[in-house]
Chains A and B, each alone.
Chain A
């Protein structure tokens, strides 16, 4: 019956109740909706960063990251293959690369690039390059002097598909090595910097040119699931390190490889919760205000209840129960609306290409698919419910403080 009493009291002034409800609904909805967009953006940025030759994890020679030269390469590729075959779970992919600074030149221009030797089929499953071709073709197994360059590279070097490109770098004996390649394909990337930076050739050709034999610069691994917290990667890194059992090799997660990304993700999660706080403060004032109003209107009734023998604490409970109902109702509807609106735009994504030019610089993706995190839902729901109940305690205590006679006097 106390539940019924609270429920009916809520609907005594439907307009006021609807106003609070609306505030809660809009607040919760905005928390969920903006949270989903932010999380979608984060996920897309992380995916982009990973597909930009990073992957979930990488294995290098211990010294490679400080000094990425061909001498710091990994010789025992068979052993690494075996370990990865056993230790990585279902759905994980990995690929080998040779990666070295080089100078590219043709008749008109020359400039520094990163020469990446890849295994075309495996690479396609891990990084962006497999699906980034805009002209010509992708590399195939058996290719020899074929090379892929970026769209922006073509313009800088004033060249086109079919033309030659000379690459020069230091080989493993510190001698100058060079090789002529022919452009067969052009790729596009999220940013022009990437298009100008990377050129791709078959792994064997790069290794041959640099006299590396069977050695490779890095292994990039992509785990099947995206874990924005990096937990699964950390576990996998420990597992691989133990399995390889050789400290000339070093396994690193994307969090270690992309410290800026890690910091960015942490900060953006923090700001989301700050935003929740801001939304709540606005909502909280509304709740306190309207509840106070409702309570002063019903002063006489609280007096009556106390005269009938209701203890002050019971009065507080009654008022808090009313706020609780309102909040639960508002949170539920807010959640439903949040889900619906996110589902509606998740189907096609949000096209951000209008802002693309400016946004690219910040790594913001062209297309955005909002993502709802259970953790965010729980935090949003709890923030509103717990803080909402807490702020309603103030008016409730006010109600309980009315002495019966004071309250009854106010005719």
Chain B
């Protein structure tokens, strides 16, 4: 079954009188439970594609279907609800709300979902333990290392029980050892909970972990291999 179906997506950015064709016709189907890497040089369109898959940005043309929801028919509020309940995000940096502690950041999404306070707390603690942050619940983002921050972000992306996690260069700011730890963690979630993962990366180590590698260049898919 397909978690993500994308058909002939095009996206052009206009900035002043400069026009950038970020995506020039992307077709992609990602199955439920997949663990996919999007690779490609800088500026090839990876972030744009992930944003479109997450409903953060709209394509100029083409069809996006995530978990059987066709985006073009949805309002902003519908998209927000879909993100809240079905999609987890991990960004390259600045993932966390600075005034909230680690555990509050994780609880925040559940709060928006309307999960009761005690359950929120229990689930947040459990997931922070899972990502190896026991005892650091009450630290603010500024008091955590980059790797720890990314782990909080991953914990937050998963805790709400999403169908799919979209991660944009999750390891880019991390040293290779920390990055590998994070990948192992995501892989574990993928196996245990059948969460679909799509992440963009430049990192060859990350690419090695992926079961499927999609390579983009100049806004087009140039290679798609399943290992």
Contacts and interface: CB of A to CB of B under 8 A. Distances in A.
B108 A1 contact: yes
Interface string A291-335: 000000000110011111111101000000000000000000000
A309 B99 contact: no
A405 B166 CA distance: 14
A309 B77 contact: no
A307 B56 contact: yes
Contact of A405 (B51, B80, B82, B100): B51
Contacts of A408: 56, 91, 94
Main secondary structure of the interface of A (DSSP, over half): helix
Contacts of B87: 309
A310 B80 contact: yes
B91 A5 contact: no
Contacts of A300: 94
A105 B83 CA distance: 98
Contacts of B108: 1, 308
Nearest to A303: B56
Interface in A393-411: 403-405, 408, 411
Contacts of A403: 56-57
A309 B83 contact: yes
B51 A305 contact: no
A12 B87 CA distance: 30
Contacts, number: 71
Contact of B57 (A304, A314, A405): A405
Interface size class of A (residues with CB under 8 A): 20 to 34
Contacts of A307: 54, 56, 83, 89, 91
A131 to B, nearest CB: 64
Contacts of A82: none
Contacts of B169: none
Main secondary structure of the interface of B (DSSP, over half): helix
B109 A308 contact: yes
A173 interface: no
B77 A304 contact: no
Given A307-B54, A307-B56, A405-B57, A312 B77 contact: yes
B11 to A, nearest CB: 11
A301 B97 contact: yes
Interface in A1-44: 1-2, 4-5, 8-9, 12
Interface size class of B (residues with CB under 8 A): 20 to 34
Nearest to B51: A405
Nearest to B109: A308
Contacts of A306: 56, 80
B123 interface: no
B111 interface: yes
A307 B96 CA distance: 12
A248 to B, nearest CB: 75
Nearest to A306: B80
Given A8-B99, A9-B99, A12-B99, A312 B76 contact: yes
Nearest to A8: B99
Nearest to A298: B98
Interface string B78-96: 0011111101010101110
Contacts of B81: 309, 311
Interface string B206-219: 00000000000000
Nearest to A11: B99
B107 A1 contact: yes
Given A307-B89, A311-B77, A312-B77, A5 B56 contact: no
A314 B112 contact: yes
B161 to A, nearest CB: 13
Given A304-B95, A307-B56, A1 B109 contact: no
A314 to B, nearest CB: 7
Q: Which has the most chain B C-beta neighbours within 10 Å: A1, A2, A300, A308?
A: A308
Interface in B99-147: 99-100, 104, 107-109, 111-113
Interchain residue pairs A-B with the least CB separation, the first 4 = A309-B84, A8-B99, A309-B83, A404-B56
Interface of A: 1-2, 4-5, 8-9, 12, 300-301, 304-312, 314, 403-405, 408, 411
7 contacts: A2-B111, A8-B100, A304-B94, A307-B83, A311-B77, A311-B81, A404-B57
Interface of B: 51, 54, 56-57, 76-77, 80-85, 87, 89, 91, 93-95, 97-100, 104, 107-109, 111-113, 156
Given A309-B83, A312-B76, 14 more contacts: A2-B111, A9-B99, A306-B56, A307-B54, A307-B56, A308-B84, A308-B109, A309-B82, A309-B87, A312-B80, A403-B57, A404-B56, A405-B56, A408-B91
